[in-house]
Amino acid sequence: MKKYIFITGGVMSSLGKGITSASLGRILKSEGYNVTILKFDPYLNIDAGSQNPFQHGEVFVTEDGAETDLDLGHYERFLNENLSKENNVTSGQIYEAVIKKERKGDYLGSTIQIIPHVTDEIKRRIRYVSEEKHKDITIVEVGGTVGDIESLPFLEAIREFKMEECEGNVAFIHLTYIPYLKTTGELKTKPTQHSVGELRKIGIQPNIIIARGEKDIGKKEKNKIALFTNVRKENIFSLSDVDLMYKVPLILYEAGISSTLSRILHFNDREAKLDSWKEMINKGSRRKGTVKLAIVGKYVELQDAYLSLNEAIRHASFEIGINVSTKWIEAETLESSTSELKGMNGILVPGGFGKRGVEGMIVAAQFAREKRIPYLGICLGMQIAVIEFARNVLGWKDAHSTEFSPETSHPVIDLMEEQKNISNKGGTMRLGAYRCDFIKDSLIKKVYGNKAYVFERHRHRYELNNRYREALESKGLEIDGEYVEKHLGEAIHLQGHPFFVGVQFHPEFKSRPLSPHPLFLAFIRAMQGTLKDEEVFA
Ligand code: GLN
């Protein structure tokens, strides 16, 4: 069977289309279907890699090294499986492909137009993923809001897609917003009526409406929406704000969304096996006690930039059964005073780019090292730990990364020779999964269940400089993990410290609610003071 579900958004952005798509994926996968999820992003960037986190939040990285929209992270976490570069399609990629074909002469002299050339390329991408990966159900989230100029080619393509498929193979879900007007105490359906009107103008009649908002809608609103949008009232679902995104699959399943979909798409309405999912949520609600974690970063006011990190902490916190209260510290503030770090059970320095805040992060690493507070350095956070150690233990006061100080006489973090001539910015970092071999019987190896190696995801340019390995190790900063092929340091730890760990990769991208990441589990245990020597995770 080959079924397709398209999800569009109305009224405004940030309503949780990504989480809704991911939740549908979870439900249908729990029914035993082979499901995948695609995200269409209507912007002209080739990928999210070159985008400022202030505009688009976190750049998520897939196993095969694509820099994608953060919704891919939701999909992976809810589906509990890896997706790939084909799962995130941008307008930039579509136009690039069409123009390349035109230059090659593949269109045999035709005039290249949005319809059919651009729309054909969009449809080809959907079928490619569904067919190549043998999926029963392909969910496609169309980014942007209906009414935007940018998303029109995608909407036209999915309209055509439905016409090309057999009856009963395609369903349209429209996720919209129902504001609550305090002055009159009313839920307002008008924006939804307009938004569906807009969709119908371009030939798409939604089968299902999911109404988002602060409050649940009732019969009255459903009747009204049904009347004005031509959607049956039993196909209108209410989805008000929840305190935990992982509850959304349960809410939608209870409300009967999968039996509605099975009627529209003519597939068997199976029971969804959501027991382990429910247990994960229950574990979270049974948490007792709290540890305090300081996260020292650059974009602290912008939580979307650290979405996967926050989720990875949540997964481990649920699993261990302890609350983790996170205090986000603007790195620059630590340059003048460390008072913000007092009383913290752990310090984490996440990934990042650019010089701002780096000195403050170095202060944080020094504080953790000297005061024996558990430290986890991720990517830039590992580089920071190395710089701090080189300056304050090895005594090289100007030690730095050449990213921040090209002139330093101790470039402990540097570009590899072959990287030094790269001029293109997009897609030229070390990206995606690389093998990390554990070259020593260290704490980190144990944390990973004593495996010989693991694959972890990368997104960075600079590397630990091998010239300084011996000096670092002679004073106790051990390099435990390595990408052997290129002799690149991947993981470090400090001898004699309860937990001082740095990794050149991003473990947060591989943490899932149903399989929390071992490094985060161990880090929280260390913060609790209960990390035992013989304990292994994973
Ligand atoms: N800026 C550093 C580098 O490019 C670290 C990147 C990161 O933390 N993702 O190597």
Q: What is the dihedral of CA 244, 246, 250, 252, to 10 degrees?
A: 80
CA distance 98 to 102: 6
**What is the DSSP secondary-structure string of 51-100?**
S-HHHH-PPEE-TT--EE-THHHHHHHHHTS---GGGEEEHHHHHHHHHH
Residue 217 and residue 238 in contact, taking contact as beta carbons nearer than 8 Å:
yes
CA distance 90 to 121: 11
Q: Which atom of ligand 1 lies at the shortest distance from residue 354's CA? A: 1
CA distance 221 to 227: 10
Q: Which atom of ligand 1 lies at the shortest distance from residue 458's CA? A: 9
Domain boundaries in the chain? 3-279, 287-415+427-528
Residues 6+ apart with CB under 8 A from 236: 208, 209, 210, 211, 217, 222, 225, 226
Residues 6+ apart with CB under 8 A from 37: 21, 22, 25, 75, 79, 83, 87, 138, 139, 140, 141
Q: What's the Rg (C-alpha) of the chain?
A: 25
Give pLDDT, residue 405.
95
Distance 457 CA to ligand 1 centre (A): 12
Residues 6+ apart with CB under 8 A from 394: 471, 472, 475
Residue 207 and residue 193 in contact, taking contact as beta carbons nearer than 8 Å:
no
Residues with a catalytic annotation lie at 379, 506, 508
Does ligand 1 come within 6 angstroms of the Cβ of 380?
A: yes
Distance 243 CA to ligand 1 centre (A): 32
Give pLDDT, residue 425.
64
pTM, two decimals, is 0.95
Q: Which residues of the chain have pLDDT under 50?
A: none
Q: What is the dihedral of CA 53, 56, 61, 66, to 10 degrees?
A: -120
CA atoms within 13 Å, Cβ hemisphere of 279? 7
Model confidence pLDDT, tens digit, residues 112-126: 999 999 999 999 999
Q: Which atom of ligand 1 lies at the shortest distance from residue 413's CA? A: 10
Q: Which of 295, 306, 353 to mutate to test the pocket of ligand 1 (most atoms within 8 A of CB)?
A: 353
Q: What are phi and psi of 101, to 5 degrees?
A: -65, -40
Does ligand 1 come within 6 angstroms of the Cβ of 298?
A: no
Query: What's the count of helices (H) and strands (E) in the chain, helices before strands?
Result: 17, 23
Token duo for residue 112:
């290249």
Does ligand 1 come within 6 angstroms of the Cβ of 459?
A: yes
Fold of 287-415+427-528: Rossmann fold (3.40.50)
CA distance 482 to 488: 5
Q: What are phi and psi of 176, to 5 degrees?
A: -135, 180
Give the SS3 label for residue 156: helix
In SS3 terms, 286-355 reads as CCCCEEEEEEEECCCCCHHHHHHHHHHHHHHHHHHCCEEEEEEEEHHHHHCCCHHHCCCCEEEECCCCCC
Residue 430 and residue 458 in contact, taking contact as beta carbons nearer than 8 Å:
yes
Does ligand 1 come within 6 angstroms of the Cβ of 461?
A: yes
Q: Which of 383, 404, 405, 428 to mutate to test the pocket of ligand 1 (most atoms within 8 A of CB)?
A: 383
Q: How far is CA 9 from CA 21, 155, 247, 398, in A?
A: 11, 11, 20, 52
Distance 224 CA to ligand 1 centre (A): 52
State in words which class domain 3-279 has.
Answer: alpha beta
In this chain, the answer to whether the domains covering 3-279 and 287-415+427-528 adopt an identical fold is yes
Distance 382 CA to ligand 1 centre (A): 9
Distance 463 CA to ligand 1 centre (A): 9
- Find residue 459's DSSP bridge partners: 431
